[in-house]
Amino acid sequence: MCHRQNRSNHWVEKYRERLGLRMRYLVPGHVILPLTWLPDNLAMKKVYAAPDLLTTGHVHNLLQQAGISTQIHNYFLSGALGDLPINECWPEIWVADADEVRALSILAEIEAQEKNPKPQWVCHRCGELNEGQFSECWKCGTTHPDNPSIS
């Protein structure tokens, strides 16, 4: 098995060199969970930072859904709290320079939605009260009658 692992690493390294790519790993030094393939000369910008990984992960997923490739930096840095300043340990989201403007506009939309939440609505089928962000009733699955995103 160790021989097979080394052989697998050899092919990864060979293709990585050929394509001029570097690989980011969830577990440093292991080839098991690659996060992203990125060109070595890709310029990136930080667009978001939060004190917890949960919020950062949520924003990361929203940007990915919008088709923007992202990286989460400082993923494991919370273990250094106390030795480093707190805000330096926050997880950060970085995007390519070309996607920065679009990512910032999406983040502004998210912030605006959080400041002005949609009103609650009552399901016309079961009478359940639902929060405004839901497009379907959480109890029976009926779609919101006034939701323009549902066709």
Q: State the 10-residue block means of pLDDT for the chain, 151 residues long.
A: 46 52 45 45 85 92 92 84 82 92 94 86 92 88 71 37
What does the chain come to in residues?
151
Give the other-Cβ count within 10 Å of 93's Cβ.
Answer: 22
State the Cα–Cα distance between residues 49 and 42, nearest whole angstrom.
20
Which has the closest alpha carbon to 63: 114, 26, 101?
A: 101
User: How far is Cα 118 from Cα 124, in angstroms, rounded to an integer?
Assistant: 18
- Per DSSP bridges, beta strands 121-122 and 70-73 are unpaired
Of 83, 63, 79, 80, the residue nearest 71 (C-alpha): 63
Per-residue model confidence (pLDDT) at position 17: 54
All domains of the chain, ordered by start, with CATH? 1-41 (no CATH), 42-116 (3.30.70), 117-151 (2.30.30)
Q: How many CB atoms lie within 10 A of CB 89?
A: 19
pTM of the model: 0.58
pLDDT for res 18: 52
